[in-house]
């Protein structure tokens, strides 16, 4: 990694720290916030969890019951 890349990373970190300090001064420390590289992923993880709970679990159970009852055959192209 070259000097300019390292300098750029240091400047990014310092900018993030300054933004964090400004947010703390503006909003106080009694509010819960997420900082760091995981913050943007939080929404994606919540969406993934919600889709899994609301869609995959519900329809997975439905399809398993339908297969057990002989209503659905996963090998039959018409059923799929």
Produce one character per residue of 27-66: b if its CB has 16 or more CB atoms within 10 Å, e if not: eeeeeeeeeeeeeeeeeeeeeeeeeeeeeeeeeeeeeeee
The per-residue pLDDT for range 37-78, each reduced to its tens digit, is 565 677 778 888 888 888 888 899 999 999 999 999 988 888
The per-residue pLDDT for range 2-33, each reduced to its tens digit, is 645 554 555 566 676 777 777 777 777 666 56
What is the reported pLDDT for 32? 58
């Amino acid at each position: 990694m070259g000097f300019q890349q390292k300098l750029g990373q240091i400047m990014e970190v310092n900018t993030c720290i300054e933004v964090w300090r400004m947010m703390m001064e503006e909003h106080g420390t009694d509010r819960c916030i997420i900082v760091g590289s995981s913050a943007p992923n939080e929404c994606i993880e919540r969406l993934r969890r919600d889709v899994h709970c609301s869609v995959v679990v519900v329809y997975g159970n439905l399809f398993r019951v339908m297969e057990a009852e002989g209503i659905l055959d996963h090998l039959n192209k018409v059923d799929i």
